[in-house]
Structure formats: C-alpha cells, structure tokens
Structure 1
Amino acid sequence: MKKRIYYLASLLLAAFLIVVILVYTAPSPNRQANGFSRSYLQAVPLKPYMTIPTNDRILDIAGTDDSTFYFSTTDPSILLSAAMETGCHVDTFQIALRQSLKDSMGTYFFTEVKKGAFFVYGYNIPAICKTGLTTSGAPAAYTTFAAGGFSQAHVLRDGEHIMLRKLDLKEKDQFFTRVTLNGDSILTGSGLSPLQRDGGMSTDGSLNYDITSGLFTYLHYYSNRYVTFDSAMHLVSKGSTIDTFTVSRFSISAAMAGKNVYMNQGPDQMVNGFSCVHKGMMFVQAKLKADNDDDRLFHERCIIDQYDLRTNRYKGSVYLDIPVKARINQLFVHGNKLLVHCTDSVYAIRINY
C-alpha cells in the first residue's frame, strides 16, 4: 500500500514539474527583446488623485455628460454617477427598463450615456434599448436585430445611429455595422478588417469613438494594427503601434472547428490592451515590454502609450501608479481626466497631452 502511495505521489510530482518546466520554457514576448523602445513623458508614475471602489458592482464606465461621469452596475437599470473630483459624492439612480428586458439581458450587457439618454446594449440577444430616468415618463425604445451577437457598440453624436461590431452567422466573422434604433436602416462595411471566419476572435480589439471628430478607431489586440474610419465606414487612415508584431498572435482551437464555437488555443498573446480616444489622441494599455523598459517597473506598474491619430505617430508613454495585478478592464478619457477601471476600483488620474 505504501509503495502505491509513493508511486502516485511520484507521478503527481513529476506531472507538476513538467507543467512548471513548460510554463518557464514556453515562448514569452516579455522575456525577450521585442525590437522597439518607449519614450517616457514623465520620470515618475502618475498617481491617482481619487478612487471609487467597485465592490464587485461596477461593470463599465458608461460615459460622461458635462462634468458628470456615469458607471453601469451589475443591474442594468441601476447606474452610479460622480463628478470625479477629490472628495466627490457618488450618487445612485435608476433608469426605465422593463423587468422582462432586465431578465433577458442578465449580465450580458453594457451601457452608454449620450446627451442625457441611456443606451443599454444586450449584445447576446442582440438588442438595444434607449431610455431615460424612471422619473422622466418617456417610453423606452427597444429594438432587436438579426441573429448574431455584437461585441462593440457606440452611439454616434447625432444620437440616432449606432455603430456595432456584429457577428455575421453566414460569414462566421464580425463586421462593422451601422444601424438605427428602429432597425430600418442597416449599413455593413466588410473591408475594414480581414475575413478570418473565426467569429472575429483573431481580429478582436477595441472600437473607440471620438465624438469631437466623429471618427472611429479600431485597435487590434493581437497585432499592432489599427484603422480609423468615418461613420459611413470609409477608411480614413491606417496606423500601427510601436511594437513590431504585424501579424495576429492568436490561434483558434482546431477541436472547435465547424461547430460554431470559437475558442483560443493556448494562452492569448496580446499585443495591445484596452484603449480609448479623446480629441484625436489614443491611449493604449501596453502589453509588451519595450527593450528599454525597466523590468521591475513593467511587471509592477501599468503603462499607457499615447498616439496622435491626426498624424498616426507615437507621442510617448506614462507609468501609472496602479499595480499590474489590479487588472485593467477599461480606459476612459475626458478633458484632463483619465479613468482606469480595474477589478477593485476605478482610478482617476490627471493627465497632460
């Protein structure tokens, strides 16, 4: 009996050691030279001037109206608002949503605020609801769309059109699609990202809308590419981030081929993290270590790269006094405020650009 126990223990130990060896010998872009350098705009990390704890409740930064910032919660009908000034009060309020709609959305939604209106995107249904405060008495507008969920959505500054990155079930890929809330006008652009027929996973990224210019910028997660286009989906320009990875670093699991289920094969090799755009400037969460980065700082503190979209040139980078382990979920810039939504808190940082 003892021999069998020793034998099993030896097997478990050997399996553990094999896993450890594989982890430490697997290719990692942040344990090698990546062929690019960063230029830092400040010598010391930027410190947050205030934080709002998420308390496992805040889902997204929903937007801003003048000097007020809005945050969606795990309940699609409940939002928070704050001026994001030192010592400011956080208010809770409710928007008008039918209970049946709340039930169908569950936690698969995100919210956007534009000019006093609240757009709730049920991306798996797929559906969009435009509504107001429960006290406004205005009926909510609710529209469902053809089968195939969407992963990104932004309402245009006219308040009537919405840009989606939506799954086309026939083509097995995602395309940028401009819709109206009543669903009677749909325009799809197919030439802004390569067709991969993998559900849009290898070309996944963040869609950013610059309300000042009316332009969209889509930044890829798994390569250094980004494109800027207008509301009619006409290409304005192409650019690249400072790293050297021009080809997507994402692989689809062959085991799921032909089953309409898309899964990654192995760990994600993200080149760029979350991003946002404001007044022609793009802010990008850095995921790759530059050759001149301090190894300790890179693995301990978050880095934000800045790009001028008017020239498609890299402007520089800043360290944030936010630990990497806090895990960034979203970036949002308005005026001189950078909001960083992490797992534990929403951090507010003053920036110059």
Structure 2
Amino acid sequence: MKTFKLKLVECTSYFFILLFCYAAISKMIDFENFQVQIGQSPLLSAYAGAISYGVIICEILIVIFLSTRKSRSIGLYSSTALMSAFTMYIFLILNYSDFVPCSCGGILESLGWTEHLVFNLLCVILGITAVFIADNNTGFSKLSITALLFLSNVLCCFLVYILYINSEEIIKQDNNFTRRYLMHPIIEKKISSLDNPYYYIAGADDKNIYLGNIKFPQQILVIDSAMVIKKKINIELDIKEFPYRKLETKVAGKYYYIYDGTVPIIKRGLLSSSKPQTISLNDAYFSQLDVINNYNSFVLRTQSSKTKNLLIASLRTGLQKNKVELWPSFLRKQTDGVFDSDGALSVDSENGNIIYTYRYRNEFIVADSTFKVKQRLNTIDTVSIAQIKLIELEGSKYKLKAPPLNVNGFSTVHRGLLFNQSYLKGKYESTKRFKNSKVVDVYKTDSKLYIGSLYLENRNDTAVNDIITTDQFLYAIAGKQLIQYQLNQPLLKYLK
C-alpha cells in the first residue's frame, strides 16, 4: 500500500512536469500569440504584459521543484495552487465576464471552457491527494498540511480575483467625469410582448413604430402608439436572385427600404405594398445606411478600395444614373482607419442632419444634408483617443491584440437631440445600477451642450439593445419586450 502511494506521488509529479513543461515551452515558442490571448481576455487584459511573463516563469520554476526529491513537496504545493488560480480564472470567465473569449490552444485546444474547468478541478484534487501522501511521509501533521494547502490555494485564487477587479477598474471605470441625471426624464407607459428576441427598430413616426427582424429579414412588424400590433408586412423578395448575406430594413415616411450592402442592393416599397422596386444595384458596397429626408438620398458608410479606411458616402437615386460621392474628410483616422473609425450612423429625419458617433472615442460628427460637416462635438467622457491595440498582418491588414475600450453604443437622434448609450461609468455612480441598466446621455446636436443622462433598466436580466425617439415617446427593445416611455419636460423643452 505504501509503495502504491509513493508511486501515485511520483506519477502525479511526472504528470505536472509534463503538463507545465509542455505549457511553458508552447507559450515561449508562440509568445506573441500567447500575449494576444491574454490581452484578449476580458478579465486580465490590463495586465497582459506582466501576466504573460509571470505564468511562464511560474511554470518553469514548478518543473524545477518537481524534478528533485528534496523540493518535490514545494512543487506539488505550487502545482496545486497554480491550478487553483487557473480554475478561479475560468470560473470568473464563465460567470462574470462580458463575453467568453476563445479557449486556449495547445494540447487542450479541443476543450471548451467548461471542460477546462473540470480538467483543472481534477488536477487540483490530484495535487491535494499527492501533497497529503508526500508530506505524511515526512512527519507533517494533517492539520499543518491542510493549513498550508488552504493558504496557498486561497491566496492564489484571491490574487486572480484582485487582478480581475483592478483590471476592470483600469479598462472600464477609471474615467474622470461626472454625469448629471435628469429628474424623471421618462416614465414607463406600456410594454408590448414580442414573439422572438431578434427584432430591431427600423423606424418610427407619431402613429407607429416599425420593427425589422434579424432572423426574418423580409418581415416588418407594425405597432401603433397604443402598443397594439397592427400588422406584419411580408416583403416579397426572391432570395435566389442575389447572394444576400445581410438583409436589413428601414422605414422612413411612407416607404420601407430593404437592402444588403454586401450585394450591394437597395429596394424601396410603399408601406401599403409588399412588392418593392430596386432603386440601386451595384452602385456602392456599404456596411451602414440611412435615409435623408427626400427619400432619394442616402448616407452610406463604406470602405476605400485603396486604403481600406472607413468612409462616408452619399448616394442619390432617381436620376438618369445613380450618383455616388465619397467624402474622405468626414471621418478622421487615428491609427488604422478601420477599428478606430467604427461608429453608429443616423439621420435626424426632421432636418436631414447626419450624425456619426464614434464607438471607441468621445466624439460625434454633425453634418447637414449636403454632407458639409457643421460640428465635431464631444461626449462627456475623457477618451479622446481610441484605446485600440492592433497586430499588423500580411497585406496591410490588422487584427485586434486586446479587447478595445467601448465608449459609445447604440444611438438615435430626433429634432436636434442625440440619445447616446455610453459604456463608461462616471464618478459617484452606483456600480450595481450601472451593471443593471443602460445609461443614455443626451446632447444637443447644434451646440456643445450636454443635457443630462437617464437609465434604461434591464428586463429579466436582458439589456436594452436599441432605441428610437418620437415627439412624445422613447421606445426601447430588450429581448422579447418593446417598452414605451413617455418623454417628460426635462427632455421635451429641448425638442425643437
């Protein structure tokens, strides 16, 4: 029996030697990729540099300790503690991360995060068993062994947790600005239940709100201001006619538009008709589109065929030949011209102003319907430079080295007011409230005026993902719910 126990300790030691030796060597061989994986972690990206070196050093030291009988006990304690730290990290990823990144590579590449968690737990149990057997033979009491194991494992788990908390502070919340929350700017009025969670807002007017659907792109759901579903418009479209990949719909005035910028094609139809007509084909590829108020003019976000930078373009239809014009000075490049210029495009239907809100920096652009930039204004946070880390690939292509700092999310504009969702928490704000809501900041688009902010609460743990405003209401979608909010005086007084 004693021989079996000693053999178990030896086999466990050889297993950890093999595991950590392979892990350390594979990380060193592809060190840049390993740093990128750590940098893309939503929990530890603020410490990617130090952790990438620290993990390799720890693994090499553990291999050295396990290789000799005199230090084997230290190696087993260290192996168990390090596997506990990895287990804690995976637990945080699965339960508290904004997103779950790709799993690690190497010998365990085929395992998902849950399988990794089980594997690590088994390694911890194996390590604890080996420690008890090894230290019992050296005269240590069970109480002493238990205390050392508890302290080393808990300390390592606590260290991972502290790194996670501090990384969250550095990446998301160290942003020295203060919001002004308005007194009852909106009041919830009614809720309409939707049959699936794939809806987005395609348009609205004083009488109706129009919802497109990601899963059923040829369908528009019409809901009136009393929050009663009126009808579904089923658009007749031959999906075999073109290689459609990203069909979207938009409603403006009496028309709906169904389009796919990857074809590229734009079709238009009356809301009273299910048969749209093609008004643009192969004029310009685009990733975003909005309608300017004469219904024959469009603003597009496209990409330069030469520089690959994101560009704003205008498209006019209804002429003898459709006219496309590029506006290369509209967006301003900071680093790569793609990731740093990403953002949300919208049009104020009341005055035709074009608004572009950058995703990764505190700026939005206001231009008139002739594409003349009137103002470049700032949101209230302090991120003026997009915090993006890139790796250059072959062919002048880039990929993200670490998750970028999201600054702005969805937005909508109406009568000179921009409603902009912010990802950043200001000073003195409740962390719990911030996590359970979407914060929307409201700005004037004709002056440097921040009006104030409001909360849009999560619904059944589902966050709001799209909004639109009319003269009376703000509408929001959260999962399978469409929520109608009444606009109150703190906001109404600013609507032109």
TM-score (norm 1): 0.86
- Asked whether the 8 Å contact 1:62–1:70 carries over to 2, the reply is yes
Aligned match of 2:487: 351
CA shift for structure 1 position 29: 4.8
1: CA distance, partners of 2:185 / 2:413: 23
Residues 49-96 of structure 1 deviation map (CA, whole Å, 9 limit, x = unaligned): 2133351332x211124411111122232211101424x125222123
The residue type paired with residue 471 of structure 2 is: G
Report the equivalent of 1:282: 418
Contact 1:95 1:134 in 2 (8 A): no
Q: Distance in 2 between matches of 1:140 and 1:348?
A: 34
Runs (5+) with no aligned partner, structure 2: 1-6, 20-78, 93-159, 492-496
Q: What do the CA deviations read for 1:118-139 (whole angstroms, capped 9, x no partner)?
A: 2112022222222346856664
The CA deviation at 1:48 is 5.6
Compare relative contact order (CA 8 Å, sep 6+) and give the higher one, 1 or 2.
Answer: 1
Partner of 1:112: 250
Corresponding residue of 1:246:
384
* Alpha-carbon spacing, 1:240–1:222, altered in 2? closer, same or farther (3 Å): same
Residue correspondences, number: 345
Partners of 2:234 and 2:274 within 8 A in 1: no
Give the match for residue 16 of structure 1.
87
The reply on whether 1:122 has 2:193 as its aligned counterpart is: no
- 1:319 maps to amino acid: Y
**How far apart are the structure 1 equivalents of 2:484 and 2:171?**
28
Whether contact under 8 Å (2:291, 2:297) holds in the other structure is: yes
Gap runs ≥5 in structure 1: none
Matched, 1:68 2:204: no
Hey, which of these two has a bigger chunk of strand by percent? 1
Q: How much is the aligned-residue C-alpha RMSD, in angstroms? A: 2.9
Q: 1:204 aligns with which of 342, 355, 361?
A: 342
Alignment of 1:220-231 (within 5 A): 220-231=358-369
- 1:320-349 CA distance string (max 9 Å, x none): 233595233322111221122233433222
Match of 1:92 among 232, 240, 252: 232
Moved over 6 A (4+): none
Moved more, 175-184 or 219-228: 175-184
- In 1, distance between residues paired with 2:276 and 2:172? 56
Structure 1 206/177 Cα, relative in aligned 2: closer, same or farther at 3 Å? same
CA positional deviation for 1:289: 0.8
| Partner in structure 2 of residue 330 of structure 1 | 466
Please tell me the residue identity of whatever aligns with 1:55: N
Which residue is equivalent to 2:194? 53
Residue type of the partner of 1:346?
L
Among 180, 194, 204, the residue aligned to 1:39: 180
Could you tell me how far apart the structure 1 residues matched to 2:175 and 2:460 are? 20
CA contact (8 A) 1:328 1:341 kept: yes
Return the letter of the residue paired with 1:15: F
> 1-side partners of 2:390 and 2:371: how far apart?
28
Give the percent of matched residue pairs that are identical in Structure 1 and Structure 2. Answer: 23
2:296 aligns with 160
Contact 1:173 1:196 in 2 (8 A): no
Q: How does 1:150-189 map to 2 (within 5 A)?
A: 150-181=286-317, 184-189=322-327
Q: Which residue of 1 aligns with 2:98?
A: none
**Tell me, what secondary structure is at the counterpart of 1:253?**
strand
C-alpha distance in structure 2 between counterparts of 1:337 and 1:120, whole Å: 25
8 Å Cα contact 1:209/1:215 also seen in 2:
yes
Q: 1:319 to 1:196 in 2, by over 3 A?
A: closer
- Secondary structure of 1:105's partner? coil
SS at match of 1:217: strand
Change (3 A) 1:301 1:138: closer
Q: Contact 2:186 / 2:486 at 8 angstroms: preserved in 1?
A: no
CA 1:96–1:196: 2 relative to 1, 3 Å: farther
| Distance (Å, rounded) in 2 between the aligned partners of 1:215 and 1:333 | 16
- Worse overlay, 188-197 or 118-127: 188-197
Q: What TM-score does the superposition give when structure 2 sets the normalisation length?
A: 0.63
Are the equivalent residues in 2 in contact too, given 1:172–1:197 (CA < 8 A)?
no
For 1:56, the aligned partner's letter is: P
User: Greater helix percent: which structure?
Assistant: 2
